[in-house]
Amino acid sequence: MSSRDLVLAALFAAIIVALGLLPPIMLGFIPVPITAQSMGVMLSGVILGARRGTIAVLLVLLLAAIGLPVLSGGRGGLAVFAAPTTGFLIGWVFAAFVTGYLSERFVRSSQSAMLQTAGFFAAAVAGGVVVLYVFGISYLALVSGLGFTKAFLGSMAFIPGDVVKAVVAALAGRAVMAGYPLLPARA
C-alpha cells in the first residue's frame, strides 16, 4: 500500500467515527437507534473501493476494540463485540468490501453522471444494506434466540433509512468521481 492509500483509509476511518457523533435517531417501537455510521461504511466502499474501504472499516473496529469511544453513542471496548448487534459490526467489513468491489465494477469515468450514480447506488444497496443485514440479522437471530423471522422483521424498520443513506453515498460517490476520482482504475 502506498502512503496515499493509508492516508485515505485513515481519513475515511475518521469520517466513520465522526458520523458516529451525530445524535442517533430513536424509533419509538424499536430500542435500537438509527445511526449514520453505516453510511460511512457505504461511503468508504463507494469512494475508496474495496481494499482501501475495507481497511478504513477495519481501522475503526480496531480502535473500538482497544477501547476508544469511536462507535455511536461513545461506545468502545471489547464489550461492544459481545452484544447481540455485533453481527452488524462484523458485517461492516464485508459491506465495505462488497460496496467497493461493485463500485469498481459498475462505475467507469466514461459513463454518464446518471449511470455512475445508479452504479454507486446499486453497489451501496447491495453491500451496505443487503450484505450488512445478512451478517447482522443472522448473528442477532443466533445470539438472541429470537429466531431468524423475528430478527428479520424487526430489522425491516431500518431499511428506509438505509436506502436514504445509500442515496447519499451514491451522490457523494458521483461528486467525488467528477471532481477527484479515487476509485482504483481497472486494468
pTM reported for the whole predicted model: 0.91
Tell which residue, 66, 73, 70, has the closest CA to residue 92.
70
For residue 45, give the 3-state DSSP assignment. helix
Kindly report the backbone phi and psi dihedral angles of residue 31, in degrees, each rounded to the nearest multiple of 5, phi listed first.
-80, 0
Give me the helices (H) in 22-112, please. Answer: 37-48, 50-65, 86-106
Q: Give residue-wise pLDDT tens across range 75-133.
A: 999 999 999 889 999 999 999 999 999 999 999 988 999 999 999 999 999 999 999 99
